[in-house]
């Protein structure tokens, strides 16, 4: 949505709101932010994933993470309901943490509103709590020293 009265910046600039920005916009914004961060400290982001698949290649469990500034951010972890409680999540996390350590990460962090007990059992500790996000829940912020 465009509203010329909301213009900010040089003459002719237009402020817009996009309720569902495309991936290209998010990528362009990320490039600018990373360049800005790089003015203060070297900035490199490395993404990786760990997958557990069945013999047919179907995803049974997965991990997505981002490494930067010596930290692993645990972006997403999912385990199929048929495998929960059988160690698949622990295996994913162990593999991801080992990779992050080998790549120079000293610590890991994440946020969760559903699986805090799982991460606490893996040695993570809570360092923050955002209440009522989502409504009626609390989002816990956890960290763990890897090295």
For β-strands 71-79 and 59-68, DSSP reports them as antiparallel
pLDDT tens-place string over residues 10-46: 898 999 999 999 999 999 998 999 899 888 888 788 9
Dump pLDDT digits (tens) for 97-123: 999 999 999 999 999 999 999 999 999
Three-state DSSP class for 90?
Answer: helix
Average pLDDT over the chain, rounded to whole? Answer: 94
Residue 2 pLDDT exceeds 60: no
As given in the structure block, the two tokens for residue 139 are 């989002």
pLDDT classification of 135: cutoffs 50, 70, 90? very high
pLDDT, average across residues 52-79: 98
* SS (HEC) of the chain: CECHHHCCCCCCCCCECCCCCCHHHHHHHHHHHHHHHHCCCCCCCEEEEEEEECCCCCEEEEEEEEEECCEEEEEEEEECHHHCCCCHHHHHHHHHHHHHHHCCCCEEEEEECCCHHHHHHCCCEEEEEEECCCCCCEEEEEEEECC
Distance CA(56)–CA(61), nearest Å, equals 14
Domains of the chain: 44-145 (3.40.630.30)
Which tokens in the block code for residue 63? 């991990």
On the question of pLDDT at 4 being above 70, the answer is no
């Amino acid at each position: 949505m465009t509203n010329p009265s909301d213009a900010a910046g040089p003459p002719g600039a237009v402020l817009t709101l996009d309720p569902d920005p495309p991936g290209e916009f998010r990528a362009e914004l990320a490039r600018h932010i990373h360049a800005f961060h790089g003015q203060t400290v070297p900035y490199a982001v490395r993404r990786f994933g760990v997958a557990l698949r069945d013999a047919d290649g179907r995803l049974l469990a997965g991990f997505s993470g981002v490494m930067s500034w010596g930290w692993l951010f645990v972006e997403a972890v999912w385990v199929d309901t048929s495998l929960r409680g059988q160690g698949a999540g622990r295996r994913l996390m162990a593999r991801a943490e080992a990779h992050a350590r080998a790549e120079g990460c000293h610590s890991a962090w994440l946020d969760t509103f559903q699986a805090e007990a799982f991460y606490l059992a893996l040695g993570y500790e809570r360092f923050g709590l955002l209440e009522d996000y989502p409504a009626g829940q609390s989002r816990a912020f956890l960290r763990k020293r890897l090295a």
